[in-house]
Amino acid sequence: MANEKPPSKPVMHASTMQEATAATKAELNLGLAESLKLYRKACLWSIFFSTCVVMGWFDMLSLNSLYAYPPFQRQFGIELEDGTYELTAAWQSGLSIGAFGGQIIGLSINGIITDRFGYRKTLIGALIGRCGFIFIIFFSETTVQLLIGELLFGVPWGVFQTITITYASEVTGQFIASGVLPPESPWWLVRRGRLDDAKKSLSRLTTRNSGIPFQPDETISMIIFTNEMEKKTEEGTTYLEQFKSVNLRRTEIVCVTWMIQTFCGNTFSSYSTYFYEQVGLVSESSFSMTLGQYVLGAVGTFLSWLLMRQFGRRTLYLSGQVFMCILLFVIGYTSFAGHGNTAVHSTVGPLCYSLVSELPSTRLRIKSTVVARNVYNVVCIISNLITPRMINPTAWGWGTNSGFFWAGSCFLCAMWTCFRLPEPKGRTYGELDVLFEKRISARKFKTTYIEQFNNHEYRGEGVIEGVIVGHVNPQPPEKEGKC
């Protein structure tokens, strides 16, 4: 861009290392209360920023809920022998798949343009596109028009799905006003060599006079150190790099973690109104049940904030899947038309976003999140092909027996989580890099001690040539077979 400053290449001097060490210790010792005090305004802006994702889910779930409404069925469905109308299973799948197809396009574009133009400009473009595409859906009179609208509307939503969580992760969930948008990510600015801008952005992401010791220069040094450390083990930031060496394991983890959101049986939530109607509830009661279900989901999300800090990501993610597996078996056996929405949204639902944003390397975070979300969307396409057929009486008509299918897939997901998902709680990005580089077992991530800033080589005028080090000293190994 014409107005960008020429990038200044970060130099790893001994002073940078000392500041990085101090910033790492300060970050590890910063408690929840201190974090909220230091980043009070930033947390509020983070919630506001995340409404981009909320809007997308509202639109998707609202459309699926309309499948059970008689006016929608008369407009877009076919007449059955008894005189009622029904949207065919094929069109139910097609409309949902159209939205996911648009998301895949948006995600693929986002992985390229965000690296080039940054988070702010990419978000503005996606919001403008969304404002235009919504009119197609609003004025649709046929299923074809509705499908085209869903496809185009999915493109900006695909951008929202990753740009919000990767930005939040890079600035540790902290945002503060800059006009109507938050400042650019300091991590992105460091990768572009714009160190002065990174310091200014970081200063605006924190609350002044909070009483909490904070040194922006030290934090920038930690970002530089982590970036240089990852450059030693990665040749670049292309999509291909995600499938090389230790990054292959990290890519597998983030992809499967997001896939679990669908395979744990959460698809029932998307079709809950229609599902309730098929098991005997009237349309009005079905929609009310769905609204109540999402209220419980919101309660579960707030509850996850406390549970995540107490039990960690891995334990909570695994326990949520085990509970869901049991509940899905109960649904299948008893034909009980319920759903563990609170359980999902206090474990698997919100924790997925935390894990996917924390486990990739910082240099590949955007592209890793894009790949993981695209894999998730492909799985959603498959799920939306089979789920309507499971519960639609004009297709397979399984009804509540569909619970057996999803209980089985949920059990397999829990097994994968037990042996492959590591615990990132309490780790800096640099420490996670070391744990992956040393190929530490997922079940030992939590108990492995790291001396990250040790044994560095100094040459010339204090410039560090060998950046990566990180010594790991595992505590006594856990018993085999334990999760």
3 state DSSP class of 219: helix
Same domain, 365 and 440: yes
Same domain, 267 and 415: yes
**β 78-79/457-459 pair status:** unpaired
Same domain, 311 and 435: yes
Residue 462 lies in a domain: no
Same domain, 318 and 423: yes
Closest CA to 363 of 262, 226, 481, 463: 226
Overall domain count for the chain: 2
Q: Which domain holds residue 97?
A: 32-173
Q: Which two tokens stand for residue 112?
A: 């390229």
Residue 257 lies in a domain: yes
Buried b / exposed e along 366-395 (16+ C-beta atoms within 10 A): bbbbbbbbbbbbebbbebbbbbbbbbbeeb
Query: Do 79 and 85 form a contact (C-beta atoms < 8 A)?
Result: yes
Bridge partners of 464?
A: 458
Same domain, 262 and 409: yes
**Per-residue pLDDT in tens (0 to 9) along the chain, 483 residues:** 445 444 444 455 666 666 666 666 666 666 667 777 776 666 666 666 677 777 766 666 676 667 777 888 888 888 887 788 888 878 887 887 888 888 888 888 887 888 788 877 888 888 888 888 888 888 888 889 988 988 898 888 888 877 777 776 665 443 333 334 666 777 778 888 888 888 887 777 776 666 676 777 777 887 887 777 767 655 566 778 888 888 899 999 999 998 998 888 777 666 666 666 666 665 666 666 667 777 777 777 778 777 887 888 888 889 888 988 888 888 777 655 455 555 666 677 778 888 888 888 877 887 888 888 889 888 888 887 888 787 777 777 777 777 888 889 999 999 999 999 999 887 877 788 888 888 889 988 888 887 655 544 333 333 333 333 444 554 544 444 444
Q: Which two tokens stand for residue 58?
A: 């509202």
Phi, psi (rounded to 5 degrees) for 337: -85, 55
Q: DSSP for 272-311, please give it.
A: HHHHHHHTT--HHHHHHHHHHHHHHHHHHHHHHHHHHHHH
Same domain, 43 and 161: yes
Same domain, 157 and 280: no
Q: In CATH, what number is assigned to the domain containing residue 441?
A: 1.20.1250.20
* Last-in-domain residue among 124, 155, 173: 173
Same domain, 303 and 440: yes
Same domain, 110 and 259: no
Residue 467 lies in a domain: no
Closest CA to 174 of 365, 308, 51, 39: 39
Residue 465 lies in a domain: no
Same domain, 113 and 258: no
Same domain, 291 and 412: yes
Same domain, 303 and 433: yes
Q: Which two tokens stand for residue 304?
A: 């996850």
Residue 92 lies in a domain: yes
DSSP 243: G
Residue 472 lies in a domain: no
Residue 169 lies in a domain: yes
Residue 17 lies in a domain: no
Question: How many C-beta atoms surround the C-beta of residue 54 within 10 A?
Answer: 12
